[in-house]
Structure 1
Amino acid sequence: MDTQSFNATSDAVQSPAPPPARSPAPPSAGREAAPPPRPSARCAAPASRSPFTLTHVWILLGLLVVLRYVVPYLLERYQYAVTRARQQAEYDVASKALGSLQLSGLSKASQLVSQKVGPSVVHIDVSSVRSQRQPEEYAQLYGRPAEPSYGQGSGVIVDPQGYIVTNSHVVHAAAEIEVALSDGRVLPARIVGADSATDVAVLKIDADRLIAAPWGDSEELDVGALVWAVGSPFGLQSTITFGIISAKHRANLAGDVYQDFLQTDAAVNPGNSGGPLVDAQGRVIGINTAIVGDSYRGVSFAVPSSVARAVYERLKASGRLARGWLGVQLDDVSEPTARRLGLPAATGAVVVLVVDDPRVPSPAKDFGLRVNDVVIRWNGKPVGKSAELIRMVAMTEIDSTAQVELIRAGRKLTLEVRVAERPL
């Protein structure tokens, strides 16, 4: 091996020479151009995945359709099934409970109340005369002719001798009164007496075979007690409605201190005025008298029987209502007044003035009542406010003796007072 060969070998071992670049061979005149190289399998892969992607799109669209339409439908059916099962369970429980509660007794009670009080309820037609408005020149020449006015209401027979209780405003300024009985008879009636302060009037008819409704005691009824209103709303005779006592002792609704109403939610409408409010035994515990607004709104008022009966008996006896009189000016006991007078509670009626006039009777002066006396009981009944005491005194029989419990300078006293008649 010569030196030149050794060197060539060493060069090859240390750094192999790159292969010589091949220049593209020019196409010969007698040959066609070589076809382009075929794509490898790796380059063809994306084309083979295209059907798989479309399948996913269709699946996604199908899922969206299911979520949009099928799932809500299934949820609705499920909720319906749950609700239906709950309603069925409630129905079964309610059916069993209603069977044991015997609520049919309440329905029967309404029927019996209607049968008991129905024959005693009357329809009242009233005609009055009022001056017709005319131009002044015609009035001077021809006078003012009378124009008839008509009204209607209800009433209740409380005495088989023909005495009927109704509202004073029903028969106010009446020229003629006709009463339609439940048996079809229509009879004229006359006014025995009326008291506008309590809105109670008494009528009299001449008839036999009358059925009187019994009186009940409104003081025995508690709030929530069942009541029935009977009358002729809008002229519809013998209408009965049902409700409860919503409140008691609603006072001064029309600005009159002598008014003391029962509040009820029994449906009362124009034409019901004067009709009875009865309890579950068919006893008269009130006389329907007023509503809030022009028609029924769930709030109506009745004169309690404790007032209506007392007024009826006095009007029947004398045709007028003489009210009791104590001869004092009263006020409610406020918190400051209670502290000033050393009272245990802000209740009762405090005397702020004792009448001292020789022309006017003054039982308070004659029997020892003084200013700052606080009346807490009248004839054994508690006094909460001054208006209550005024009504109690007013309904006390004239010339009778009343027991007055009061607090004076921190001490309880009991006085006897002879009630006088309130001056006109």
Structure 2
Amino acid sequence: MKKFWLIFTQSVTISLGIVFVIQIFHPDLLARREHIIEVKQAAAKQEINTAGSYRLAAQRAMPSVVNIFTSKEPAKTVDPRLNDPILRHFFGDPGDEPPQKENSLGSGVIVSAQGLILTNHHVVETADEIEVALADGRTLPAKVVGTDPETDLAVIKVDAKNLPAIIFGRSDQLGIGDVVLAIGNPFGVGQTVTQGIVSALGRNHLGINTFENFIQTDAPINPGNSGGALVDIEGHLIGVNSAIYSRSGGSMGIGFAIPVSLAQQVMEQIVRQGSVTRGWVGVEAQDVTPELAESFHLKDASGALIAGILRGGPADKAGVRPGDILLEINGKRIQDTSGMLTLISALKPNSSATLKVMRNGVEKSLTATIGRRPKPEAAQQN
């Protein structure tokens, strides 16, 4: 037994000695083995390939897009039961709990370095207070310069200088299939950029606005994007996001933007005179259907059928009668009632215009003195 113990102790001593020697001269042999993953890292200053990317367009346009927050004091209603002192004891005083403000959000586009911002009329329509959050983090109060409900456009202003105004593009040069970016503040999550294409041009008869000439896009647009920018791949403004077609309240790939050409015309009038002035002749009209075109012996289903005349209005004084088909205004062909409305609204009040109509199969030229289009709440005729 003593012999075995001696052998054991000697073996342990020799093993410890070997380990001690290896630890001193070859420590890597005893190091714990770990799995090492080698990755390839791009150089910090390597140039970034932007081919196929829209980052430059986004970087150019995003500083010009703002978030708009509005609030409205709720209307105070008095419960008739509170007139009774006993019932007041149980139902409380309406002044006990202050009513909560109604808050909403939208977007806007800086169009002037002096603080002018273009947005939608419905974003600021009922607001008592308006706050604008700039891309640099500043929040400023804003006031309404003027609005145009018939195109759903508005201009507001903040007291600031040297703001990053967006560059206006050419919406008349857009084509179906062109890539576009929508920038805004969807659902209040913060500034967001979405990408899509131009799906259609000249969309009208949607029942959204009185004057419709929408750019349709599949770039995702959601609540909060209203009034934001639709830009091309250069970052230039080509439209103001205005509405979506949706059954759920969110984007379904059908969004509508007001072309920048129309937005600029409205904006300039609002800034110059506080409102928009449009021509008016006082008629009610309907589109010429293929059936109507056949019954009136027309070559095609174009023009506007006059269904009603405002007595004493410009069209009435010019000799236009119900049943006439309005074919041209100042030599410009009318395709439908939407086109008629656009042409008439572009005329200056008190100017003269030549109206070509067809009556009983005979074309007649009539001269009308253009009137001023009434405000939307008072207007009953086109």
Q: TM-score range by the shorter chain?
A: 0.7 to 0.9
Offset of residue 121 of structure 1: 0.8
1:332 paired to 2:287: yes
Q: Distance in 2 between matches of 1:407 and 1:223?
A: 35
Task: Output aligned runs, 1:205-284, within 5 Å.
Answer: 205-254=158-207, 256-284=209-237
Determine the C-alpha separation between the residues in 2 that align with 1:206 and 1:191: 12
- 1:316 is aligned to 2:283: no
CA distance in 1, matches of 2:355, 2:197: 34
CA distance in 1, matches of 2:274, 2:76: 31
Structure 2 spans left out of the alignment, 5+ residues? 1-48
Most deviating of 118-127 and 249-258: 249-258
- Contact (CA 8 Å) 2:151, 2:210: kept in 1 or not? no
Structure 1 stretch 196-205 or stretch 379-388: which is displaced more?
379-388
RMSD: 2.8
Aligned counterpart for 1:307 among listed residues 262, 266, 271: 262
Residues 1:365 and 2:316 are matched in the alignment:
yes
The match for 2:119 is 166
Query: 2:326 aligned to 375, 380, 391, which one?
Result: 375
Q: Map 1:9-408 to 2 at 5 A.
A: 105-107=51-53, 110-131=54-75, 136-138=80-82, 142-143=93-94, 145-254=98-207, 256-293=209-246, 294-357=249-312, 362-378=313-329, 381-402=332-353, 404-408=355-359
Q: Deviations over 1:218-238 (max 9, x none)?
A: 333232222111111122333
Gaps of 5+ in 1: 1-102
CA contact (8 A) 1:327 1:354 kept: yes
Identify which of structures 1 and 2 has the higher relative contact order when contacts are C-alpha pairs closer than 8 Å and 6+ apart: 2
SS at match of 1:147: coil
Displacement of 1:250 in angstroms is 2.9
> Residue 349 of structure 1: CA displacement?
0.9
Distance 1:412 1:202, change over 3 A: same
User: Scaled by the length of structure 2, what TM-score is found?
Assistant: 0.73
Shift of 1:185: 2.1
Amino acid of the residue matched to residue 264 of structure 2? R
Cα distance change, pair 399–306 in 1 and its aligned pair in 2 (3 A): farther
SS in 2 for 1:170: helix
CA-CA distance at 1:370 after TM superposition: 4.0
Shift of 1:119: 1.9
Query: Secondary structure of 1:154's match?
Result: strand
Say if 1:272 and 1:421 are closer, same or farther in 2 by CA, change over 3 A. Answer: same
Q: Give 3-state SS (helix, strand or coil) of 2:156's partner.
A: strand
What fraction of aligned residue pairs are identical, expressed as a percent?
39
User: Contact conserved, 1:179 with 1:188, CA < 8 A, in 2?
Assistant: yes
Between the two proteins, the alignment pairs up a number of residues equal to 316
Kept in 2: contact 1:124–1:178 (CA 8 A): yes
Rg larger in 1 or in 2? 1
Q: Which has the higher helix share?
A: 1
1:35 aligns to what? Answer: none
Aligned in 2, Cα 1:135/1:329: closer, same or farther, shift over 3 Å? closer
The alignment's TM-score, normalised by the length of structure 1, stands at 0.67
Q: Distance between the aligned counterparts of 1:163 and 1:129, measured in 2?
A: 25
* Shift in Å, 1:186: 1.6
CA contact 1:131–1:147 (8 Å) conserved in 2:
no
Deviation of the 1:288 alpha carbon: 0.8
Change beyond 3 A, Cα 1:222–1:256:
same
Distance 1:230 1:136 in 2: 48
One-letter amino acid of the structure 1 residue matched with residue 266 of structure 2: V
Would the aligned equivalents of 2:144 and 2:157 in 1 still touch at CA under 8 Å?
yes
